[in-house]
Amino acid sequence: MNAPFQSPRESVVSVHGLVRSYGGRRVIEGLDLRIERGEFVALLGESGCGKTTLLRALAGLDEIQGGHISAPKRPAVVFQEHRLLPWEPLWANVALGLPPRGARERAEAALAEVGLGTRLDDWPRNLSGGQAQRVALARALVQEPELLLFDEPFAALDALTRIRMHGLVKELVTRHRPGVLLVTHDVDEAIALAGRILVMRDGAIAAEHRPSRPGAPAATRAELLAELGVAPTHAAH
Ligand SMILES: Nc1ncnc2c1ncn2[C@@H]1O[C@H](COP(=O)(O)OP(=O)(O)OP(=O)(O)O)[C@@H](O)[C@H]1O
C-alpha cells in the first residue's frame, strides 16, 4: 500500500537574497526568510538593524534593490501606533477597504472578537491605548489576511495590558491561522507568542530559535539575551 501523500508545507512568505538600501547604504544584505501558513514568527534585533525595513518590504510599501520576495499582495499591518481615523466611528475604521455590502456586520463581528462589540458607534478619542490597539487588530483581521505583519504593536502599552493583548492575539491567531511576522524588542513577548524566533544582524538572519520545544523557553531566553548583547534579568512574565 502506498504511504499517504504528504504535501510539502506551504509557505506564505518566501524571501531570497533580499537587498534593501537607502541612498547607497545597504541595510538588508542577502536576507532569506520563509514563513509557513499559520506560522507565528518573531523578529528580534538591535535597534537600527533593519527590522522595520524588512517588514515594509514584505508589506510591499517600499521598492527593493535586489533579491526576490513572494508574499500576499495585501498583508495586514498593525503598527505601534493605532493609526485610526479620528473622524470615523470604530465600525467604519474597521470596515475601511471592505466592500460596502455587509461591511458594518463584518466590522461588528471583528470588534466583538476583540471584546469591543458594544462600541461600534464610539469614537477613537474615547479609547484607551489598549482598546485602540484592539480596534487596530480587528481592522487587520476583518480582511482575513493570509499574512499579518506586526511592527511592535504592544510596545507603547503598560505591562498588564500587554500581557492581556498577548492572550488575545494568541487566541485570534489560533482561530484565523494567518502567517505572522512580529517585530519586537521584547524577548519575553517573542517567547510568549512565537513558534520561531529570528535574530537579525548585519542585514541578515543571524540565528533561529524554537522556544516551544519542551524545556526550551528558559534556554532560549538566555541565548537570545546573549545574542542581543543584553545581561539577563528575571522573566517579565
Ligand atoms: N527612510 C529612510 N531613509 C534613510 N535611512 C533609513 C530610512 N529608514 C530607515 N533607515 C535606516 O535604516 C536602518 C534600519 O532602520 P529600521 O527602522 O529598519 O531599523 P529597526 O531594526 O526597525 O530599528 P528599531 O528597532 O529602532 O525600530 C537604520 O540605520 C535607519 O537609520
pLDDT tens series, the chain, 237 aa: 444 554 557 899 999 999 999 988 999 999 999 999 999 999 999 999 999 999 999 999 999 999 999 999 889 999 988 899 999 999 999 999 899 999 999 999 999 999 999 999 999 999 999 999 999 999 999 999 999 999 999 998 899 999 999 999 999 999 999 999 999 999 999 999 999 999 999 899 999 998 877 667 777 888 888 888 887 665 544
List every span in the chain annotated with CATH 3.40.50.300.
11-75+145-227
Please tell me if the CB atom of residue 47 comes closer than 6 angstroms to any atom of ligand 1. Answer: yes
The predicted pLDDT at position 3 comes to 46
Contact call for residues 168 and 110 (beta carbons, < 8 A):
no
Q: What's the longest Cα–Cα distance across the chain?
A: 64
Q: Whose CA is nearest to atom 18 of ligand 1?
A: 50
The predicted pLDDT at position 233 comes to 63
C-beta pairs of 55-60 under 8 Å, 24+ apart in sequence: 55/149, 55/151, 55/181, 55/183, 57/18, 57/20, 57/28, 58/13, 58/15, 58/147, 58/149, 58/181, 59/149
Please tell me if the CB atom of residue 211 comes closer than 6 angstroms to any atom of ligand 1. Answer: no
ipTM of predicted assembly, 2 dp: 0.96
Q: Which residues contact 15 (CB under 8 A, 6 or more apart)?
A: 31, 32, 33, 34, 58, 67, 68, 69, 70, 71
The predicted pLDDT at position 228 comes to 86
CA distances from 31 to 158, 198, 200 (A): 33, 12, 9
pTM (2 decimals)?
Answer: 0.90
Ligand 1 centroid from CA 91, angstroms: 33
How many whole angstroms separate alpha carbon 78 and alpha carbon 207?
25
Ligand 1 centroid from CA 27, angstroms: 8
Q: Which of 20, 46, 53, 184 to mutate to test the pocket of ligand 1 (most atoms within 8 A of CB)?
A: 53
Q: Report the 10 Å Cβ neighbour count for 102.
A: 11
Does CATH place domain 11-75+145-227 in 3.40.50.720?
no
Ligand 1 centroid from CA 50, angstroms: 5
Contact call for residues 201 and 62 (beta carbons, < 8 A):
no
Nearest one of 204, 212, 213, 207 to 228, comparing CA atoms: 207
The cell for 201 is: 544582524
